[in-house]
Amino acid sequence: MIELRHGHCSARISSRGAELQSLRRRDEELLWQADPAVWGQHAPWLFPFVGRLRAGGFTHGGKHYRMPIHGFASGLDFRVVRLQVDSVWLEAADDAFTREVYPFAFRLRIGYMLHDDGLAIAVEVWNRGEETLPFALGAHPGFALPGPLSHWALQFDQAEADEVWRLTPGPDALLAATAEAFTWSAPGRLDLRPDTFARDALIVKRPRSRRVALLRHGRQHLAVECVGVDGMAHLGLWARPSASYVCIEPWWGHDDDAHAPAALLDKPQVQHLPPDETWARALFIRL
């Protein structure tokens, strides 16, 4: 386990999946602590896909490949490439295992940097192959919500459209074909209730906001911000119903819907990275 410290903040990161497993402000744990009876993860990385693919996989080069929900990054062993008292960079690359399910050459690098006012997170995908690298990527941090859910709310920095995207019911849930009308608690605000996620995730496509704050008793507890000109392509909000956490998930990709093409290069939600180029995004968890 990798431990970082800076001032009154600390973080712990596992080399398995490069997953953030603890984020503390003084003595307060801010991250969900992965109760296996509820949801046994903390903040997994979603790569090379976000969500589920139709028929459980994709085709490429005349072959069908199976792919689990959210890809395989959470199970990869990352190696530390640079470590300091308050920062770390980790990386993983394609190998014989990944090429069995995803026939592309890549390097995935993730950095964590503690500051006085929060945790900066950087992610880079490098196409080290000779063909276009199609992929999606998402962050999936879960934040602890001690006390009654009625004390908590999410505040966007912009008012969002009065619609969300849902997943279809059932064990093989895919993205619904159309958005549905949605009533926010107030413009740009979602009050959390035990039934907020009774129908699974709330997905905001192409949000106007670049920042989502978690409020406790109406005051900012922390915020997730997308840094840079591109912002987030989509935003997922999720928890198990009535659970004492919430996931605020910037995504660059999303689930297939029931009509999605099988061919990976034809899926509209994936990024297309040319050979020897790097795709990079950055987040900041403001404390």
Q: Report the CATH number at residue 257.
A: 2.70.98.10
The percent of residues above 90 in pLDDT, for the chain, comes to 97
Question: Among 43-52, 133-142, 167-176, 258-267, where is mean pLDDT lowest?
Answer: 167-176
Number of Cβ within a 10 Å radius of residue 10: 19
What domain count does the chain have?
1
Q: What is the pLDDT of residues 202-243, one digit of tens each?
A: 999 999 999 999 999 999 999 999 987 678 899 999 999 999
**Containing domain of residue 112, as a range?**
2-286
Of 127, 152, 146, 148, the residue nearest 137 (C-alpha): 127
For residues 72 and 248, give the distance between their C-alpha atoms in angstroms, rounded to a whole number.
20
CA–CA dist 113, 85 (Å, integer): 9
SS3 73: helix
pLDDT (mean) for 70-84: 98
pLDDT tens digit string along 92-109?
999 999 999 999 999 999
Instruction: Please write the tens of the pLDDT for every residue from 137-177.
Output: 999 999 999 999 999 999 999 999 999 999 998 888 999 99
The partner residues of 153 in beta bridges, in order of sequence, read 191, 215
- Site of tokens 């596992």: 14
For residue 84, pLDDT over 80 is answered with yes
Instruction: Give pLDDT, residue 230.
Output: 78
- Kindly give, in sequence order, each residue whose CB lies less than 8 Å from that of residue 96, ignoring residues fewer than 6 positions away: none
